[in-house]
A and B are shown apart, each in its own frame.
Chain A
């Protein structure tokens, strides 16, 4: 139980294009989902917290117009990297917190490479 999927698992795109990453909780409902960014051999950096049906809350220093987050249902959140540039290349990981639970369950991550 408590499985979270991400799609795609990897993507390569040209500079200036937009990329959408999906995060789904497969066997539970999640009112809250989180988006992280991880650089090689480093810890996870929380980018934003999204709650179903409301606007995401972004961490300080994260551009909300750059990283668009939509949490349209209790099982789906999307992160869109708009006008991607090479510095946006990273490993993006989502997590989902089941309703009334304490634990976050993580997706397998998406490797984004911007050329």
Chain B
């Protein structure tokens, strides 16, 4: 079984400051990890993923995430937040070893609020 935890319901940050959204996971096999962003009444937009390779993954809109196997974490980061980054962020995990269909387990989501 796989699970994802996003411990913060909401993250508040001032524009220009660093932004971090936390995610920890649990899978029995190989973790495939993803970050998505959702704006109100819209679907999810893909930001980045970790499958294998370098632990630091760079994605869209200046976001990056670091895979930490020992801490089973995949935190999303952005060096300088913009007001337009205000949205709902979802972390997702897939078990790459056992799930051939590619089903995701999503975290509960973290609302990011960036103030001017």
By a beta-carbon cutoff of 8 Å, the part of chain A in contact with chain B is: 2, 4, 6, 32, 34, 41-44, 46, 49, 51, 57, 91, 93, 95, 97, 102-109, 111
Partner of B107 from A43, A49, A91, A105 at Cβ < 8 Å: A43
| Residue total for B at the interface (Cβ-Cβ under 8 A) | 24
A1 to B51, CA, bound (A): 20
Given contacts A43-B108, A44-B90, A106 and B102 within 8 Å (CB-CB): no
Query: Inside 8 A of B43's CB, which chain A residues have their CB?
Result: 4, 6, 93, 95, 106-109
Q: Is there contact, CB below 8 Å, between A49 and B51?
A: no
By a beta-carbon cutoff of 8 Å, the part of chain B in contact with chain A is: 32, 34, 36, 41-46, 49, 51, 88, 90, 94, 96, 101-104, 106-109, 111
* Minimum CB distance partner of A49 in chain B: B101
Q: Is there contact, CB below 8 Å, between A105 and B106?
A: no
A51 to B90, CA, bound (A): 24
A51 to B49, CA, bound (A): 23
Query: Inside 8 A of B51's CB, which chain A residues have their CB?
Result: 102
Q: Is there contact, CB below 8 Å, between A103 and B34?
A: yes
A74 to B46, CA, bound (A): 21
* Minimum CB distance partner of A109 in chain B: B43
A2 to B44, CA, bound (A): 13
A84 to B32, CA, bound (A): 36
Q: Among the interface residues A57, A91, A93, A106, which one has the most CB atoms of the partner chain B within 10 A?
A: A106
Given contacts A43-B90, A51-B101, A106-B46, 6 further A-B contacts (CB under 8 A): A2-B46, A32-B101, A43-B106, A43-B107, A46-B104, A108-B43
Q: Is there contact, CB below 8 Å, between A106 and B101?
A: no
A97 to B90, CA, bound (A): 18
A89: min CB distance to chain B, Å: 14
Query: Inside 8 A of B101's CB, which chain A residues have their CB?
Result: 32, 49, 51, 57
